[in-house]
Chain A
Amino acid sequence: MKPARPPVWLFPAIAGVIILSPFAYSAGRFAWLSMFPPKPFLQASSSSPSQRCVRDPGWMRQNHRVFLYELRDKTVRDGIRSEVTLSSCSQCHKDKTQFCDKCHNAANLHPDCFACHFYSTTNRPIVLLQGGP
């Protein structure tokens, strides 16, 4: 006896559930976050109130990538060195794992800044390949 064929609605029903499930996830996430807003998990700045970020912190949170790229272009391409460097960030935000990595990891982003740059907390540029002391 031939096995019974699955009902014709089964395939579209499974496909429909798979296609619609991300909507359910996003709507559920939206409702959850509306009820329980997330607490900021960025490490608080250790600077004194007189010290401020070089730009508005809200703007920096979204656009620090552009800001750093502009700094890089000015330095590398135009030869204009700024006093602001990655080390400046680390003066207030000491812990890279909390300040940079936590967000990047959450968003699955892997910027290659630190393949070359060292996140110094001493405000002294680390000079590599200097040829000895």
Chain B
Amino acid sequence: MAAIRREAILHYGVPRWLANCVNQPRFLPLLLLLPCLLLWLAAWVRGPLERYFGASYTPNHIVISYWSQLPQWLLIVLFAPFVLLDAVVLALGVMRFWRGLKACDREAGRTGGGQSLIASIRSVSRSIILHEDFDRCTAERPRMNSHRLVLFGFLGLLVVDLWVLTARFNPLLRDAFVYPFNFWNPWKVLANLAGGAILIGCARMVRDRMPRTGRTGTLFTGTSFDWTFLGLAVAAVLSGFGCELLHYARVDPLRYVMYVIHLATVFALLVLLPYSKFAHMIYRATAMVYAAHSGRQPLGGLHETG
């Protein structure tokens, strides 16, 4: 299952050479160096850009940037084009994947018989939230909680990020001060709990993926495809907690270094989303929706594990 998933992501990632690079460990230092260089370049052009547009750095009274060298507007300008590009690449990949699934069914002579698209999306969303497929698979059930911790952890962080990113347009906030959060602010508490959930989930996944010998005597070591994603997720969360601790301790030059590391890992995690294991949340969901929509039945005895 993991091998099929990896091949599907590599196959549908555009451009394919980038998908291949992302999943080779020897290119990993380069992939982390690239965002560091981009961030350095962004900090370097900040001054000239502000002079050109006739503005000086003024902290927004709702969100005060963590580091004045990398203010919020600069990070949004830097990240937004890549996130949009991600969305385009994923949309193209999903469309090709969907067409591929349809062509396969057509060749096999299977036609229709499933739910409508909206009903399929609804039932699959329910299934993903409840982890029903994971729950049915008795062999992989111990991994279900790790997966749930990571999934809901990322959801929690997404919600907090969106709250801060949209603070200026949020009618509930108006002139309220938003960021940096107080430690006991419910949004900060959610971010810390979500980070902790990802960390615990990833630690359990690392434990499950440690090299082991299977029943048939085969040695399972996992692939770089799995380890890269797991490593980046852990690095992003640990550097995030590092930033928080160094910020509270006011360790001044070091907290900015940690911030750059955090942004670089988040950049690698998000911008390389369509080419890394992270993309399985889109492709797997697409496959499930297609199965419900086309009326495909799961293969006897072979329950997939999400």
Contacts and interface: CB of A to CB of B under 8 A. Distances in A.
Contact of A112 (B173, B187, B190, B250): B250
Nearest to B136: A8
B305 interface: no
Given A19-B190, A65-B59, A108-B182, A12 B130 contact: yes
B250 A22 contact: no
B135 A8 contact: yes
A62 B62 CA distance: 9
A30 B160 CA distance: 18
Interface of B: 56-59, 61, 129-132, 135, 145, 148, 152, 155-156, 159-160, 163, 172-173, 177, 180-183, 186-187, 189-190, 193-194, 250
10 contacts: A9-B130, A11-B131, A12-B148, A15-B155, A22-B160, A22-B190, A107-B177, A107-B180, A107-B182, A112-B250
A62 B61 contact: yes
Interface string A51-81: 0000000000011011000000000000000
Interface residues of A, number: 22
Contacts of A2: none
Interface in A83-119: 107-110, 112
B182 A66 contact: no
A46 interface: no
A49 B58 CA distance: 30
A25 B186 contact: yes
A19 B155 contact: yes
Contacts of A127: none
A129 B108 CA distance: 90
Contacts of A110: 250
Interface of A is mostly: helix
A22 B158 CA distance: 13
B182 A12 contact: no
Contact of B152 (A9, A19, A27, A30): A19
Given A19-B190, A110-B250, A12 B61 contact: no
Given A8-B131, A27-B172, A22 B163 contact: yes
B61 A19 contact: no
Contacts of A27: 172
A111 B252 CA distance: 12
Contacts of B156: 15, 18-19
A107 to B, nearest CB: 6
A47 interface: no
Interface of A: 8-9, 11-12, 15, 18-19, 21-22, 25-27, 30, 62-63, 65-66, 107-110, 112
B250 A8 contact: no
Given A11-B148, A12-B152, A65-B59, A18 B163 contact: no
B64 to A, nearest CB: 8
A102 to B, nearest CB: 14
Contacts of A12: 129-131, 148, 152
Nearest to A107: B177
B61 A22 contact: no
Given A21-B190, A108-B182, A30 B59 contact: no
Given A30-B172, A62-B61, A112-B250, A22 B186 contact: yes
B180 A108 contact: yes
Q: Which among A8, A22, A110 has the greatest number of chain B C-beta atoms within 10 A?
A: A22
Contacts of A30: 172-173
A66 B68 CA distance: 11
Contacts of A66: 56-59
Contacts of B131: 8, 11-12
A14 to B, nearest CB: 9
B184 to A, nearest CB: 9
A10 to B, nearest CB: 10
A12 to B, nearest CB: 5
A25 B159 CA distance: 14
B196 to A, nearest CB: 11
A39 to B, nearest CB: 16
Contacts of B132: 8
